């Protein structure tokens, strides 16, 4: 744990450093609550908000005794945890259903208020397991005897680029030609700050217990119209032309993103997101407003409240470039390793012709090829990206130093085999500079 509690009412935020969890934690803190954030990593929690207390817990596994103790002492519990699709680090049923069962069991003898942040469109028969599992969790909570309110936001847009909205920002920033997929899909949005404001209102008791309400603007528009509005907000000129991508192309990309999910990449392009867009991301604000809630801001009002700075434009452009750089680095290092093994004799001869012993040259080629292959594959696994980049930089520098000492003439080779190592050192630095754990 980190930090201290010093106010009277305690709010526990599950999923405290996610997009919605971060906003809720800050809003609750500003409104007089003492906040405990819960997430897998205390260090990531502190990075998102150093002013609250943090407790480490993977919500897809049984709750620790420390977490149960914190939950029992809380006045409000906000469940802002969630996962888009099962993968290397995510278990949908664990996060969306079993954690609710654990929560109900832990606080069954208390009067704590639970604010469940779900999603608009959840149902038992939804086409995605994300929506079905969210619905099962909501139903489990709704059937309990606890004091609860369930909020279901539509597409959440805030100053922070995250998940699906990060992807839309990047699509909006695409140069020259606009590329659209599912352009007629219906979209409604809600401002992140309005979601946090709603959570505070519920936490204060301003909304009646056992209310289930969708948080959304009143207007709806197509996905294409939404992307155009984002591009205008970013300050880019209109596209010269637009191209509607076939659904098959989007489906192929989504399947590839699903596979990357098992390597730890939480891509917003996975099939769950695609199916959700096909069904439309819409909601009805009437129940929320009838319960005493405020009118949520429209997309136009949301964008006016968020300045589109140079950081926004940099992010939107780099979002698509980063996976391309990672793919290029992977191919470069894997091919380098394969070439070393395929042309083993020639590689050994390069070293022995410059005075190296046969044994040393043979070992150096084998070890070098093995390291190249390992680094090229490791960078594809999300948790290993940083170590892989650091390894690439270290190995590249070692190659440069070794080549200078034993094969300095290669610097003057017309094909530039040593000079080309320099970009191999700089590209991992780019990845390290823009790669984020969340």
Q: What is the pLDDT of residues 249-280, one digit of tens each?
A: 777 776 776 676 667 666 656 666 667 777 78
Q: What is the pLDDT of residues 364-391, one digit of tens each?
A: 778 888 999 999 999 998 889 999 999 9
Q: According to the model, what pLDDT value does residue 391 have?
A: 95
β-pairing verdict for 76-79 and 113-117: parallel
344's CB contacts (< 8 A; 6+ apart) are: 365, 366
Are 189 and 142 in contact, with CB atoms under 8 Å apart? no
Q: What is the DSSP string of 288-314?
A: HHHTTPPPPPPHHHHHHHS---HHHHH
Angle at 270 between CA 333 and CA 42, to 5 degrees: 75
Are 71 and 51 in contact, with CB atoms under 8 Å apart? no
Residue 393: pLDDT above 60? yes
Mean pLDDT of 29-52: 93
Residue 78: pLDDT above 80? yes
436 C-beta neighbours (distance < 10 Å), count: 7
Residue 222: pLDDT above 60? yes
Q: What is the pLDDT of residues 111-135, one digit of tens each?
A: 999 999 999 989 998 888 888 899 9
Are 113 and 77 in contact, with CB atoms under 8 Å apart? yes
Report pTM: 0.83
Q: According to the model, what pLDDT value does residue 94 have?
A: 85
Domains in the chain, ordered, with CATH? 9-308 (3.40.50.720), 323-434 (no CATH)
Q: According to the model, what pLDDT value does residue 46 have?
A: 93
Higher local confidence (pLDDT), 363 or 219: 219
Q: According to the model, what pLDDT value does residue 225 have?
A: 94
What is the phi/psi pair of residue 56, to 5°? -85, 130
Overall residue count recorded for the chain in this entry: 438
Residue 2: pLDDT above 60? no
Give 6's pLDDT tier (boundaries 50, 70, 90).
very low
Q: According to the model, what pLDDT value does residue 424 have?
A: 77
* Bridge partners of residue 157, in order along the sequence: 191
HSE at residue 422, side-chain half, CA atoms within 13 A, is 5
* Bridge partners of residue 281, in order along the sequence: 187
Q: What is the pLDDT of residues 130-168, one digit of tens each?
A: 888 999 999 999 999 999 999 999 999 999 877 778 888
Q: According to the model, what pLDDT value does residue 409 have?
A: 66
């Amino acid at each position: 744990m980190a930090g201290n509690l010093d106010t009277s009412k305690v709010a526990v935020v599950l999923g405290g450093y996610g997009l919605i969890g971060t906003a809720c934690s800050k809003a609750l803190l500003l409104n007089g609550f003492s906040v405990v954030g819960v997430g897998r990593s205390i260090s990531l929690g502190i990075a998102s908000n150093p002013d609250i207390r943090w407790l480490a817990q993977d919500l897809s596994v049984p709750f620790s005794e420390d977490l149960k103790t914190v939950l029992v002492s809380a006045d409000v519990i906000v469940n802002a945890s969630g996962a888009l699709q099962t993968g290397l680090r995510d278990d949908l049923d664990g996060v969306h259903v079993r954690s609710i069962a654990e929560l109900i069991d832990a606080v069954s003898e208390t009067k704590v208020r639970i604010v469940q942040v779900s999603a608009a469109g959840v149902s038992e028969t939804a086409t995605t397991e994300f929506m079905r599992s969210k619905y099962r969790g909501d139903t489990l909570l709704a059937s309990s005897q606890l004091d609860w309110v369930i909020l279901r936001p539509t597409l959440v847009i805030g100053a922070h680029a995250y998940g699906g909205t990060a992807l839309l920002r990047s699509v909006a920033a695409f140069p020259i030609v606009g590329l659209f997929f599912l352009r007629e899909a219906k979209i409604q949005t809600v401002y992140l700050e309005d979601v946090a404001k709603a959570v505070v209102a519920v936490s204060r008791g301003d909304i009646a217990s056992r209310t289930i309400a969708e948080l959304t603007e009143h207007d709806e528009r197509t996905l294409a119209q939404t992307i155009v509005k984002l591009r205008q907000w970013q300050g880019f000129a209109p596209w010269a032309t637009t191209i509607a991508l076939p659904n098959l192309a989007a489906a192929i990309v989504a399947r590839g993103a699903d596979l990357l999910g098992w390597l730890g990449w939480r891509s917003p392009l996975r099939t769950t997101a695609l199916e959700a867009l096909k069904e439309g991301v819409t909601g009805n604000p009437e129940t929320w407003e009838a319960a005493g809630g405020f009118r949520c801001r429209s997309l136009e009002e949301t964008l006016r409240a968020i300045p589109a700075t140079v950081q926004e434009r940099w992010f939107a452009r780099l979002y698509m470039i980063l996976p391309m750089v990672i793919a290029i680095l992977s191919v470069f290092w894997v091919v380098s390793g394969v070439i070393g093994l395929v042309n083993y004799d020639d590689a050994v001869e390069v070293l022995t012709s410059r005075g190296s012993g046969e044994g040393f040259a043979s070992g150096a080629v084998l070890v070098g090829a093995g390291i190249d292959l390992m680094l090229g594959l490791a960078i594809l696994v999300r948790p290993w990206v940083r170590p892989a980049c650091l390894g690439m930089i270290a190995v590249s520098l070692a190659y440069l130093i070794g080549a200078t000492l034993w094969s300095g003439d290669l610097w003057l080779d017309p094909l530039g085999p040593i000079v080309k190592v320099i970009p191999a050192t700089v590209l991992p630095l780019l990845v390290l500079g823009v790669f984020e754990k969340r």
